[in-house]
Structure 1
């Protein structure tokens, strides 16, 4: 009933997308997107699928960790401070554009394909499919999604929508940000056959997974195929245990570095209003934002600002 109700609420969205996509249509369906927001998005539940980036997150050893520091006044070489300047800013030394939750643009492996700043704006919002292999990981930590797993999901939920985003839940991220995650050689992944089925047969926009890599093959066969065929992917996704396997949307935002081979990303799942996880806009103070109980202060031991 939850998914049926939410599907009805999102009918205007579907009509709008259909009208935009149909070039042969002589009469456009007029949709008031402000009403779509009021009727469908305002009371929806929002779940953040993004890890927070800090100096302690697991990072591939070939890149090394990021470094945070106070932004310095170029003229005085002193850090800006609330006391002396009325504001503070942060200086980041980022070892890679492949940190935390991020998108791999195809140019990560194949320079003839788009970089992160060349991905189209249409990536912004999509139907979200979540396929779980979490129940397989206990017996085999190196289990990789198979085509049979996808077909089993479709038998229950229907055919995966064309143009959707498919995230693979493995619960691998439950121990994030343990640095040991980056050193694992065996971890849940996606088989090459499954990737080809999703992209070629089901024509999805892209897939995403919780680990830092697509698969554990020596040559990263799945990632190689994706990048060299013009497909982007999402990595280090969080909180997939808190979103429904069907019926939700995903909002996608990412940094736009020119020529970037990856982009730090923010993924937000938009779930039905009666979903048990997440928050709606009526449940949080948004504008003005509330004062925090503790003050934000620089912690030199942790190498970042924390609330104390």
Structure 2
């Protein structure tokens, strides 16, 4: 005898809407030699034991910093006493997803930052950004992955030129709209010029200082609608962790 669907509303929701939905991976597969924050060491990987050597198991041993590849930054990454990975609520891992698309502007200006006009245009078309949501900044920078030179886009003086967030938009999203977290496709929140020329990471510190978290190095936002999708984000649960590679998926119809 089959269970009564009316008594199992989440299963019914799955069968009616989620089973046939589109699942878009927003995550880069990480590997040694990939683009990363310049101050960090490269990843190493070795075989602890190998099937090829007659072992019963294939077991890899990894060495990498927490902020590696597509990853989560909890508040403790920059805020003393802030929430760590193990203190982030699992309820925050499934959120409404809003995609702010500024890829056209970035194509003309790689240092572009979203403006209030961009956000106002988004809300004029889609409605107010909902509280408790995740907002991803689409720049199409992910298409440069995994070319380190193209990701950095450095000039002859070694100054990187890639897009970042703006304080004015983040203030509206975090304080005015009450979003839970944000994400972007580049290696840094603040943009290439700020991080490589000025050593300025104030925007990332602002996000984490608001007890919000972020995902960096997202992928495939160009395959996701600007409104109506869900973000499913997950990561390992190291006690007291200040960052770790993450897996993020957009669920949309």
Q: Fold-level match, TM-score > 0.5?
A: yes
Deviation at 1:123, TM superposition (A): 1.2
Deviation at 1:43, TM superposition (A): 0.5
Question: 1:267 & 1:121 partners in 2: Cα distance?
Answer: 14
Whether 1:203 and 2:178 are equivalent positions in the alignment is: yes
Deviation at 1:87, TM superposition (A): 2.2
**Greater mean deviation of Cα atoms: 237-246 or 219-228:** 219-228
- List runs of 5+ in structure 2 lacking aligned partners: 1-6, 155-159
- List runs of 5+ in structure 1 lacking aligned partners: 1-29, 72-78, 273-308
SS in 1 for 2:108: coil
SS in 1 for 2:246: strand
Q: How does 1:88-107 map to 2 (within 5 A)?
A: 88-94=58-64, 96-107=65-76
**What is residue 4 of structure 2 aligned with on the other side?**
none
Question: 1:148 & 1:234 partners in 2: Cα distance?
Answer: 24
Deviation at 1:198, TM superposition (A): 0.3
Whether 1:38 and 2:15 are equivalent positions in the alignment is: yes
SS in 1 for 2:24: strand
Number of equivalences: 236
2:41 pairs, out of 59, 64, 74, with 64
Question: 1:200 & 1:90 partners in 2: Cα distance?
Answer: 43
Q: How does 1:244-255 map to 2 (within 5 A)?
A: 244-255=225-236
Question: 2:173 & 2:36 partners in 1: Cα distance?
Answer: 28
Q: Conserved in 1, the CA contact under 8 Å of 2:99 and 2:137?
A: yes
Q: Conserved in 2, the CA contact under 8 Å of 1:60 and 1:183?
A: no
Question: 1:259 & 1:35 partners in 2: Cα distance?
Answer: 37
Question: 2:50 & 2:142 partners in 1: Cα distance?
Answer: 36
SS in 2 for 1:152: helix
Pairwise CA RMSD: 1.6
Question: 1:147 & 1:255 partners in 2: Cα distance?
Answer: 35
2:83 pairs, out of 102, 106, 114, with 114
With over 3 angstroms needed to count, the CA separation of the structure-2 counterparts of 1:64 and 1:182, relative to structure 1, is: farther
Q: Conserved in 2, the CA contact under 8 Å of 1:251 and 1:270?
A: yes
Deviation at 1:83, TM superposition (A): 5.2
Question: 1:102 & 1:85 partners in 2: Cα distance?
Answer: 32
Whether 1:163 and 2:132 are equivalent positions in the alignment is: yes
Bigger Rg, which one? 1
Q: TM-score, normalising length from structure 2?
A: 0.89
**What is residue 208 of structure 2 aligned with on the other side?**
227
* 1:124-162 deviation digits (Å, cap 9, x = unpaired): 211110111100012211000112111110101111111
SS in 2 for 1:156: helix
Question: 2:18 & 2:182 partners in 1: Cα distance?
Answer: 24
SS in 2 for 1:138: helix
